[in-house]
Amino acid sequence: MHERDEQGRKGRQGASGHGESGRGSASFGALLVLASAALVAVLAVTAVRAGDPAPPMGPGSPMGPTGSDVHTTLAPGSGVDPMTQQGQDHLAKAGFGRKHTPSELIFPDQTIPLRFSHAKHVDLVKCTECHTEIGSSLRAKDRNLPKEAVCLDCHDQAAAARGEPTDPPASCETCHPGFQPKWLPGADFTDTSKVEVHPPAIVLPEAHIKFNHKTHLDKGVGCDRCHKSMGELDLATRDNSLPIMATCIDCHDGHKDGKSPNSGAPDACKTCHLTNPDGRIDTDLPGGKLVPEGWYFMDAHDDNWLQSHRAVASLGEGGCAACHTQKECIDCHNGVQKPLKVHPNNWILSHTIPARRNDPDCSSCHRSQSFCVDCHTATKVVDVDGSRPPTGKTFHPAGWVEFRDETGREVPAQGIRGENHHSFQAQRNIRACASCHTETSCIACHGAAGDNVIARTFYRITPHPNSWTRSGDCVRMRNKNERVCYKCHTPDAQAMRCDSL
Amino acid sequence: MIACATAPEAAAIEFRIEAQTRGDAYQLVTSGNEVLNRNRLHQYLGLSLYDIEGSGESRWSFTSMFRFDVDFGLSDAEIERVPTAGRSQMSIQYASLEGHDLLGGLLEVRLGRQLLADGLDYLMFDGAVVTVNSPWYLGLEVMAGAEVKNEMWGINDSQLEVDGTRYIKGIEENGDKATLAFGAALVTRNLDYSRYRLAYRRYFSDGAVDQEKIGGTFHQRIVEGVDLSGVMTWDMFNARFERLQYGLRVRAGDAHEVEAEYVRTSPSFDGDSIFNIFSSLPMNDLNLRWRLYPGKNDRLYAGGKLGLAGNEAYQGDVLYGNVDTMVIGWGAMAGWAHGFGARGIDGRISVDFSFDGGYAGDRLLGDVSGVWAVVPREWELEARLTALAFDDAVQENLHAFSFGYQVGGRYLIDKRAAFALVAEHNMNRLQTQQFRVFALIDVDLWL
């Protein structure tokens, strides 16, 4: 069929003096083959890379800490220490693809210029022995890191500074990688503030979320429910130790009979997310726009979201309203002016092909009879008052309404419809017709009313399918709304009985 | 407003004022090579009040949005030619009083002009939506009201009117009569990874049905990384599916994602429209898209699509055709997006290519766009280049190579105000030079 379409188009274009017909089809085939080959190659390469085992991060692993000395913890060949941020960054980047890690918008980038291994500590001390203030922390912005004095309870830094052996190791460099203190005159090494230059400070920006450690601890939620596998971690960073949303919604599921022992915690977005005064999530965070990435729901706001959001939005259960107002829907769906990103440049000139294919679905934002007709009339695409456009050009190709017999002679209302016949276009997408024509255009030929001489005596072309009366469509539609019947039929017409056609 | 007046603690009320001024100017060339100027101005004004009255978790709020449109480019002759066009128009886009979490979360209400969007359709109406949430994972939503129609009394401007009939004063008899709508929906609540909605809606005027639909929408996570969604709309007036849509999204590891979609549509029109009567065959579209995420800030995609549209095949004594019963359209697309800085806050660049062929014509598009945050969250510059070759299969002489670009920028003031300006310039054989300028001033204040 397509070949025939192509031939028809070539013929038309040849007649109009343009020899560009069919271009792109042959080359497109070759392009498809090349693209497919490239796609397979890329998939194969990335699958192999993605399938590579991730570098182990725990103790005893080739890259994990093998001893208590600074110089023995470097991963072979990597030159990085997994107890440091550099080491963790290196490990994080070693894999291929995007990791489902905590959002950097919720937890902005942190700087932790320390050398520390949770794995070495969690079996020796309780979490609250170091994080002493965690039980009274009410807000996510609280900085619940242990103070240096807590570390020095075990790490006898003063002794190390005096050159005495210590266990555990306690030199400044043990925790502050590369830091060599220059003590102020008279310093006795017990007060670490008495140095000329201090080691780099920890930077923990405020988290953009609501969280109350006290409430959770009081309810018996253990640390490891949210901060998982700390016993296997060296330096704890945002990516390896802070919770992702799935951890929260294990308990914050809104119903008591969930799989988690703490199920039934409130599941409203505002329970955890910062909100605007109207209750919507504040998505405009300092690090950028907070948008779903599709980890939990088919709502990733990605390259195809403008076209694909229909399925999610049509659930109509308030998911979109958690972040968006009606204004944002109306801007596109009832907008007189669309955001420019919706369509590519020069859309007005080139929209005919997508519109005929209804891809994207025009009716999502434009109704044929209340939008398209206006514009097509103003630009004289539509015949006005029966007149042709000024240049005499016709919008439709030859063969649009004619019927021909076997010899090619035009015959009225019967015979062969050519491939350009409007009936085929109408059957494929009648919305395209309705973007220029009102019902009066159709009735002129298809109407069966008594005063429609042309239709009655010349064309007599019924628009109804063959099975119209037998299928019950006639009775059903007449019973639901007979007004539409009267546009073509008189009330006393036999056709109104739906027993024959 | 009444609720506002009776609010016991006025100090708790949050006021929001949104004002958005949009202007654009561009040119259109008619088939007769006339140049038509479009110089339009649209002014939005939103007034909202939150926490008007609240006790415990329940909240009442009022939101409204007005719009004033002016077209300075239309001549008198053009206005005469386009019956529904005018130089200026005022409209209420929405204005509703909303109650949330009433009666301990049992009830939610929305009264007034509002937009309803679900699997059945978009509906702008004046009326009420009441939702009753049960403790058993189900909610019942009931709606009733009058469709907003442009020619009815009031300050209306809706592009969401049920399609098919075009109101022309003195000719059409029903365009200015009220269309009432009522409906109900069962919706799931509080299910972790399952969301379902079953809805029914009926529109009628003067006792006759204008539209009647029933449909379902769902999302279901099969296992982690595999999600299924669907939209099914049965048109009870025409007794056919208006829309069937199924989507599958599979995440394979950290780097790959595949999205597949099938959409089958048969358009429905107002029951008063004879467009319903003509035999039409559904359009079927298959879309497949693969995404590759090399890292957090990069995304590549490639995909293809196939469209199948039918012709009637019957061999009656009046009509028969000489073409096959199925026509095919196809397409392919690929692209790459890269963000600079965390989450692309410093800028991003996108490259997209697509090709459409077969039914309706050929269309090859290349598009490169970028945004650069000169001062993050304050000054942004954007640019876009588009090259497009197209050849319409139906219209003679409608083929061209078009090259266009956009340049623009945006200035943000403390999340409360923004100013944006974008200019577009296109060049091609049919419209040698075409310009468009778009400007926006956006103010959003909480008082």
pLDDT on residue A389:
46
In this complex, the residue of A277, A481, A482 whose CB is nearest that of residue B50 is: A277
> Which of A37-51, A143-157, A371-385, B190-204 comes out lowest in average pLDDT?
A37-51
Question: Which of B134, B176, B265, B278 should one mutate to test binding to chain A, selecting the residue with the greatest count of A CBs within 10 A?
Answer: B278
Q: Is A399 on the interface with B (CB under 8 A)?
A: no
In angstroms, the separation between the Cα of residue B399 and the nearest Cα of chain A is: 9
CA–CA distance, A146 with A342 (Å, rounded to integer): 51
Report, as an integer, the average pLDDT of A356-378. Answer: 85
Q: Which residues span the domain enclosing A285?
A: 269-333
Question: Which of B277, B345, B413 should one mutate to test binding to chain A, selecting the residue with the greatest count of A CBs within 10 A?
Answer: B277
Which of A:461-500 have CB within 8 Å of B?
461-466, 471-473, 476-477, 480-484, 487-488
Read off φ and ψ for residue B372, nearest 5 degrees: -125, 120
Say if the Cβ atoms of A434 and B63 lie within 8 Å.
no
With respect to residue A311, please indicate whether it lies within any of the assigned structural domains. yes
In angstroms, the separation between the Cα of residue A292 and the nearest Cα of chain B is: 12
Report, as an integer, the average pLDDT of A308-314. Answer: 88
> Which of A62-66, B35-39, B41-45, B426-430 comes out lowest in average pLDDT?
A62-66
The answer to whether the CB of B41 falls within 8 A of the CB of B70 is yes
Say if the Cβ atoms of B293 and A373 lie within 8 Å.
no
Say if the Cβ atoms of A349 and B431 lie within 8 Å.
yes
pLDDT on residue A25:
43
pLDDT on residue B258:
96
Check pLDDT > 50 for residue B350.
Answer: yes
CA–CA distance, A289 with B339 (Å, rounded to integer): 13
Check pLDDT > 60 for residue B174.
Answer: no
Predicted ipTM of the assembly: 0.88
The answer to whether the CB of A421 falls within 8 A of the CB of B327 is no
pLDDT on residue A203:
93
pLDDT class of B160 with cuts at 50, 70, 90 = confident
Query: Which among B379, B375, B382 is positioned nearest to B406, based on CA atoms?
Result: B382
End-to-end CA distance of chain A: 32
Q: Which span out of A68-82, A297-311, B21-35, B381-395 was modeled with the highest average pLDDT?
A: B381-395
Count interface pairs A-B at CB distance under 8 A: 500
Check pLDDT > 80 for residue B217.
Answer: yes
Tell me the pLDDT of chain B averaged across its residues.
Answer: 86
pLDDT class of B65 with cuts at 50, 70, 90 = very high
Query: Do β-strands B194-205 and B107-117 pair in parallel, antiparallel, or remain unpaired?
Result: unpaired
pLDDT class of B85 with cuts at 50, 70, 90 = low
Report, as an integer, the average pLDDT of A192-198. Answer: 92
CA–CA distance, B105 with B10 (Å, rounded to integer): 23
The answer to whether the CB of B208 falls within 8 A of the CB of B225 is no
pLDDT on residue A37:
59
Task: Name every chain B residue with its beta carbon within 8 A of the beta carbon of A46.
Answer: 255-256, 292, 294
> Which of A101-110, A229-238, A433-442 comes out lowest in average pLDDT?
A433-442
pLDDT class of A18 with cuts at 50, 70, 90 = very low
pLDDT class of B184 with cuts at 50, 70, 90 = very high
Q: Which span out of A344-353, A381-390, B37-46, B49-58 was modeled with the highest average pLDDT?
A: B37-46
Check pLDDT > 50 for residue B1.
Answer: no
Q: What is the pLDDT of residues B266-280, one digit of tens each?
A: 999 999 998 998 877
In this complex, the residue of A346, A417, A442 whose CB is nearest that of residue B274 is: A442
Q: What is the pLDDT of residues A201-229, one digit of tens each?
A: 999 999 999 999 999 999 999 999 999 88
In terms of phi and psi (left: phi > 0; alpha: psi -120 to 50; beta: otherwise), the region of A441 is alpha
User: Angle at the Cα of A330 (from A326 to A335), degrees rounded to 5?
Assistant: 160
**Residue A230 is which amino acid?**
M
Report, as an integer, the average pLDDT of A186-190. Answer: 86
Identify whether A168 is preceded by a cis peptide bond (ω within 30 of 0): yes
| Better-predicted residue by pLDDT, A371 or B303 | B303
Check pLDDT > 60 for residue B173.
Answer: no
Query: Which among A375, A255, A330 is positioned nearest to B28, based on CA atoms?
Result: A375
Read off φ and ψ for residue A33, nearest 5 degrees: -60, -45
Report, as an integer, the average pLDDT of A282-294. Answer: 89
> In percent, how much of chain B has pLDDT > 70?
87
In angstroms, the separation between the Cα of residue A209 and the nearest Cα of chain B is: 18
User: Angle at the Cα of A439 (from A437 to A442), degrees rounded to 5?
Assistant: 85
pLDDT on residue A20:
36
CA–CA distance, B266 with A367 (Å, rounded to integer): 15
Task: Name every chain A residue with its beta carbon within 8 A of the beta carbon of B221.
Answer: 296-297
Say if the Cβ atoms of B434 and A304 lie within 8 Å.
no
With respect to residue A329, please indicate whether it lies within any of the assigned structural domains. yes
Q: What is the pLDDT of residues A229-263, one digit of tens each?
A: 899 999 999 989 999 999 998 889 877 666 667 77
CA–CA distance, A378 with A170 (Å, rounded to integer): 83
CA–CA distance, B328 with B283 (Å, rounded to integer): 10
Check pLDDT > 70 for residue B79.
Answer: no
In this complex, the residue of B118, B255, B335 whose CB is nearest that of residue A96 is: B255
Structure tokens at B125: 């109406």
Report, as an integer, the average pLDDT of B103-126. Answer: 92
pLDDT on residue A99:
85
pLDDT on residue B97:
96
With respect to residue A437, please indicate whether it lies within any of the assigned structural domains. no
Instruction: Determine the residue of chain A that is closest to B244 in CA distance.
Output: A311
HSE-CB of B196 using CA atoms within 13 angstroms: 8
Say if the Cβ atoms of B267 and A423 lie within 8 Å.
no
pLDDT class of B403 with cuts at 50, 70, 90 = very high
Say if the Cβ atoms of B342 and A296 lie within 8 Å.
no
In this complex, the residue of B81, B280, B377 whose CB is nearest that of residue A378 is: B81
CA–CA distance, A59 with A372 (Å, rounded to integer): 67
* Structural domain count, chain A: 1
pLDDT class of B77 with cuts at 50, 70, 90 = low
With respect to residue A326, please indicate whether it lies within any of the assigned structural domains. yes
Task: Name every chain A residue with its beta carbon within 8 A of the beta carbon of B424.
Answer: 340, 345
Q: Render B316-332 in DSSP notation, one character per residue.
A: -SS-EESS-SEEEEEEE
Q: Is A106 on the interface with B (CB under 8 A)?
A: no
Q: Which residue's structure tokens are 């490169």?
A: B368
Say if the Cβ atoms of B208 and A483 lie within 8 Å.
yes
Task: Name every chain B residue with its beta carbon within 8 A of the beta carbon of A284.
Answer: 415
The answer to whether the CB of B429 falls within 8 A of the CB of B401 is yes
Structure tokens at B285: 């579209």
Instruction: Determine the residue of chain A that is closest to B297 in CA distance.
Output: A98
The answer to whether the CB of A208 falls within 8 A of the CB of A286 is yes
With respect to residue A300, please indicate whether it lies within any of the assigned structural domains. yes
B322-339: string of b/e by CB count within 10 Å (b at 16+)? ebbebbbbbbbbbbbbbb
The answer to whether the CB of B159 falls within 8 A of the CB of A371 is yes
CA–CA distance, A316 with A309 (Å, rounded to integer): 12
Structure tokens at B68: 């004033």
Structure tokens at A346: 């020069």
Q: Is A407 on the interface with B (CB under 8 A)?
A: no
Report, as an integer, the average pLDDT of A421-435. Answer: 87
The answer to whether the CB of B226 falls within 8 A of the CB of B251 is yes
pLDDT class of A35 with cuts at 50, 70, 90 = low
How many CB atoms lie under 10 A from the CB of residue B72? Answer: 13
pLDDT class of A71 with cuts at 50, 70, 90 = very low
User: What is the model's pTM?
Assistant: 0.84
Question: Which of B114, B281, B319, B352 should one mutate to test binding to chain A, selecting the residue with the greatest count of A CBs within 10 A?
Answer: B319
pLDDT class of A9 with cuts at 50, 70, 90 = very low
Tell me the pLDDT of chain A averaged across its residues.
Answer: 78
Query: Do β-strands B256-265 and B283-292 pair in parallel, antiparallel, or remain unpaired?
Result: antiparallel
Read off φ and ψ for residue B253, nearest 5 degrees: 70, -160
With respect to residue A388, please indicate whether it lies within any of the assigned structural domains. no
Report, as an integer, the average pLDDT of B320-327. Answer: 64
HSE-CB of A356 using CA atoms within 13 angstroms: 23
Task: Name every chain A residue with its beta carbon within 8 A of the beta carbon of B389.
Answer: 24
HSE-CB of A180 using CA atoms within 13 angstroms: 0
Q: Which span out of A270-274, B25-29, B392-396 was modeled with the highest average pLDDT?
A: A270-274
Q: Is A326 on the interface with B (CB under 8 A)?
A: yes
Instruction: Determine the residue of chain A that is closest to B373 in CA distance.
Output: A288
pLDDT on residue A449:
56
With respect to residue A357, please indicate whether it lies within any of the assigned structural domains. no
With respect to residue A180, please indicate whether it lies within any of the assigned structural domains. no
Q: Is B351 helix (H, G, I), strand (E, B) or coil?
A: strand
| Better-predicted residue by pLDDT, A32 or B327 | B327
Check pLDDT > 70 for residue B72.
Answer: yes
The answer to whether the CB of B405 falls within 8 A of the CB of B425 is yes
Question: Which of B201, B291, B318, B385 should one mutate to test binding to chain A, selecting the residue with the greatest count of A CBs within 10 A?
Answer: B318
Q: Is A458 on the interface with B (CB under 8 A)?
A: no
pLDDT on residue B120:
93
Say if the Cβ atoms of B396 and A16 lie within 8 Å.
yes
Q: What is the pLDDT of residues B252-267, one digit of tens each?
A: 988 999 999 999 999 9
pLDDT on residue B417:
94
Report H helices in A379-472: 422-428, 430-434, 439-446, 453-454
Report, as an integer, the average pLDDT of B395-407. Answer: 89
In angstroms, the separation between the Cα of residue A114 and the nearest Cα of chain B is: 23
> In percent, how much of chain A has pLDDT > 90?
29
Say if the Cβ atoms of A16 and B161 lie within 8 Å.
no
HSE-CB of B271 using CA atoms within 13 angstroms: 28
CA B14 to chain centre: 29
pLDDT on residue B172:
57
Task: Name every chain B residue with its beta carbon within 8 A of the beta carbon of A297.
Answer: 193, 219, 221, 227
Check pLDDT > 50 for residue A270.
Answer: yes
> Which of A122-136, A280-294, A305-319, B347-361 comes out lowest in average pLDDT?
A305-319
Q: Is A316 on the interface with B (CB under 8 A)?
A: yes
In this complex, the residue of A43, A336, A466 whose CB is nearest that of residue B42 is: A336
Question: Which of B21, B22, B29, B31 should one mutate to test binding to chain A, selecting the residue with the greatest count of A CBs within 10 A?
Answer: B31
Q: Is A27 on the interface with B (CB under 8 A)?
A: no
Q: Is A41 on the interface with B (CB under 8 A)?
A: no
Structure tokens at A135: 């039980």
pLDDT class of B20 with cuts at 50, 70, 90 = very high
Instruction: Determine the residue of chain B that is closest to A94 in CA distance.
Output: B295
Q: Which residues have C-beta within 8 Å of that of residue B51, sequence separation ≥ 6?
A: A277, B12, B13, B14, B59, B60, B61
Task: Name every chain B residue with its beta carbon within 8 A of the beta carbon of A338.
Answer: none
**Residue A98 is which amino acid?**
R
| Better-predicted residue by pLDDT, B71 or B421 | B421
Report, as an integer, the average pLDDT of B137-159. Answer: 86
Q: Is A32 helix (H, G, I), strand (E, B) or coil?
A: helix
